[in-house]
Each structure stands twice: as structure tokens, then as C-alpha cells.
Amino acid sequence: MTWMSFDAALPVIFMALMGLSMLVYVISDGYDLGVGMLMHRATAAEKDVMVASIGPFWDANETWLVLGVGILLVAFPKAHGLVLGELYLPVTLMLIGLTLRGVAFDFRVKAKDTHKQTWDRLFFAGSTLASVAQGWMLGRYVSGFGSGWNYPLFAAAIAVALPMAYVLMGAAWLIMKTDGELQERAVQWARIAWAPMVGGLLLISMATPWVSPTVRERWFVLPEIIALLAIPLMTGVSLLAVRGLLNTRHVRGPLCWLPFALLVLVFVLGFLGLAYSIYPYVVLDQLTLWQAASSPDALKVILFGVCISVPAIAGYTVFSYRVFRGKAGELKYA
């Protein structure tokens, strides 16, 4: 491959930025949503701790979704119209879910005590609705919005698997951020969510090449497949390590952060696999990066802003996580 000009490389840079935003969103709001979906299994006091553990972060986490969709809108306007047109109804449902979840954070502690339960239920319902809708959207997007009996089935499978992955993330977050009885329960929750999440991941890894010939040709050719094998292998090892850790005592002590870190690695690996499957398309088999991109002039203006602001955002995000490091027990929602 010859080096492309800067103007031709701009859409690639923006695709990478969009991918990065979406990855950060899925990981960071993934644990928020996972905690939300575990709410109905907890006692009233545990619910307060669970919400407190994600309270300082969720606002900023959700902003990555706005940035991801913003880049899609700004850098690939043609793809934005196409993708959101195809996903009109699930997008609506996701937004309603995110709205309910987001406002429940505040309403549950400010409303009358008698209404708190209702807001907790809406917190759970909103988290679940948003996660399922995101799974469905991911399934439809990865398969290029294909039509045929197998495509909705594929999307439905991901609509179950992604929430399971979020629940596992949420449980791992709680193992890291809480202690005592709640931490013990979080270990149990993680054990329960592990099998369906791994099953779903396996199923999807096998089904994706089946529904998409493009993806099949990408992966199952020599010699690429040998190098690519690293991705599923590392994913498998990480997931097995998570399962193993859940059985040890260390996960309640000094290694409480490890399951969460391993799951982040799994998400990153899955993302790399996905990126490899789709590139250079924005919409699989329909629209490439260069067909969908805005003018280089506009992209340069935004890139300038990105280069200045993204390091700053990373800086104060790290600062915020440092401020709220440690167990979440004594945090109260303002």
C-alpha cells in the first residue's frame, strides 16, 4: 500500500476517532448500564451504594456517545443519515431508556421516599431498555443492515449478548468499588452473567462470518488468519482468567480490580476484531469512508479542536477517577 495524501487520510483518522469514542462509551457506560441492570437484585441500602459508585462518572461517560454520534454526524454526514434512518426505532427506544436512567439518578434521592422505589424501577428499566436497544443496533450495523430471515435473528442474539456483557462489566465494577456483603454478591452476579456472555460472544463470532461474506473473506485466508488468531486467543484466555479469579479469595482483596481490567481488555480486543472486519466501510458493503466523508477543510478545522481538547478531556477524566478512587461506600448523591 502506498502512503495516502493527508486529505485522503483524514477520513481514516476520523473513523479511528469515532471508533475510539464508541469504544470508550461502550466500556464506560457499559459498566454504568450493567450496574443499573443489577439494581433489582439489591437491597435498598445496596442500591444507594451502587448508584454512588457510578454517580460521579456517568455524565462524562455518556458524553462519549455524543462525541461518537457527533463525529458520525459531522465527519460522515451521508452515513449518519443512512445509519440513523435504518435504526430509527431502536434509536428512539435507546434514547428513552437513557433518558429514564439519567433522570432516575437524581429523582430517586430527591423525590418523596414513597416514590423512590418507582424511580429505582425506572432506573433498572431504562438501563435494560438502552442496553438491549444498543445490542440490536450493533447487530444490525455489523451485518450491514442486510435483509433476510437470519439477519433479525443475528441482531436479536446480540441484543441479548451485549446486555449480558454489560452486566458482567457492572458486576466487575462493583467488585472493584465496593466491599463486604455487596462485593460478595457482586461476585455471585458476575458468575451468573459469565456463561451467557461467553456463549453469546462465541455465537456471534461464529455467526458474523456466516451472515457477512465480506467478513468471511477478511478472516479466513492465509496467512492473515495466523496473525489474527491472536485476537480470539487472547480474548479466550482473558475470559477464562476472569472466571478463574471469581473462584479465588484474592478477588475480594488486593486483586479486586483485575476482573474489570481483563474485561476492558476483552472489549478492546472485540473492538479491534470488529474494526478489522468493517474497514474501510462506514456501512458494510454500502458506503466507504471516503464516499461518506465531509470536505477536508471542515475535517481539518475539527481535527484542530480534537488535538487540543481530547488530551485535556483525557487529563481531567484521569483526575476525576483519581479523586474518586477507592471504595464507594461513603459517597452520597448531591
Partner 1 sequence: MDALILARMQFAANMTFHILFPTISIGMGWLLLFLRWRWLKTQRGEGGSDSALAQGWLDAYRFWTKVFALTFALGVVSGITMSFQFGTNWPGFMERVGNIAGPLLGYEVLTAFFLEAGFLGIMLFGHGRVSERVHLMATFFVAFGTSLSAFWILALNSWMQTPAGHEIRDGVYHVQSWVAVIFNPSFPYRFTHMMLASALTCAFLLIGLSAWQVLKGVAQRSAPRVMRVGLTLAALAVPLQIFVGDLHGLNTLHHQPAKIAAMEGVWETERGAPLLLFAIPDAVQRLNHFEIKIPRLASLILTHELDGEIKGLNSFGDAHPPPLAMFFGFRVMVGMGVLMLATSWLGWWLYRRSGWQPERLPRLLLWLFAGMTFSGWVATVAGWYVTEIGRQPFIVYGLVRTADVVSKVPSAMIGLSLFMYVTLYLALIVAYVAVLKYMAEKPEQVLQTDTGEQVAVPGLQGSGA
295 is an interface residue for partner 1 by CB under 8 A: yes
Q: Which of 38, 98, 157, 168 binds partner 1 (CB under 8 A)?
A: 98
110 is an interface residue for partner 1 by CB under 8 A: yes
Nine-digit cell string for 25? 462509551
**Which CB, 213 or 326, lies closer to partner 1?**
326
7 is an interface residue for partner 1 by CB under 8 A: no
16 is an interface residue for partner 1 by CB under 8 A: no
Gap between the Cα atoms of 278 and 286, Å rounded: 11
Could you tell me the end-to-end alpha-carbon distance of the chain, in angstroms, rounded to an integer? 55
CA angle, corner 140, sides to 40 and 21, nearest 5?
70
137 is an interface residue for partner 1 by CB under 8 A: no
Print the binding letters for residues 221-260 with partner 1: x by CB under 8 A, - otherwise.
Answer: ----------------------------------------
Backbone conformation region of residue 273, classed left if phi is above 0, alpha if psi is from -120 to 50, else beta: alpha
Q: Which of 25, 29, 46, 105 binds partner 1 (CB under 8 A)?
A: 105
From residue 43, alpha-carbon distances to 34, 50, 185, 204, 329 in Å are: 16, 10, 11, 34, 14
Report H helices in 247-295: 258-278, 289-292
**Which CB, 6 or 319, lies closer to partner 1?**
319
Report helix, strand or coil for 324: coil
**Which CB, 240 or 301, lies closer to partner 1?**
301
Gap between the Cα atoms of 19 and 274, Å rounded: 10
Task: Choose the stretch contacting partner 1; rule: CB under 8 A; options: 94-102, 194-202, 209-217, 224-232.
Answer: 94-102
Contact 160/197 with Cβ under 8 angstroms? no
Gap between the Cα atoms of 19 and 272, Å rounded: 10
Task: Choose the stretch contacting partner 1; rule: CB under 8 A; options: 105-113, 173-181, 226-234, 274-282.
Answer: 105-113
111 is an interface residue for partner 1 by CB under 8 A: yes
Q: Where are the beta strands (DSSP E) in the chain?
A: 281-283, 287-288
The footprint of partner 1 on residues 33-92 (CB under 8 A) is: 55-57, 59-60, 62-63, 65-67, 69-75, 77-78, 80-81, 83-85, 88-89, 91-92
Number of residues that bind partner 1 (CB under 8 A): 64
Q: Which residue has the cell 485535556?
A: 312
Q: Where on the chain is the footprint of partner 1 (CB under 8 A)?
A: 55-57, 59-60, 62-63, 65-67, 69-75, 77-78, 80-81, 83-85, 88-89, 91-92, 95-96, 98-100, 102-103, 105-107, 109-112, 294-295, 297-298, 301-302, 305-306, 309-310, 313, 316-317, 319-320, 323-324, 330-334
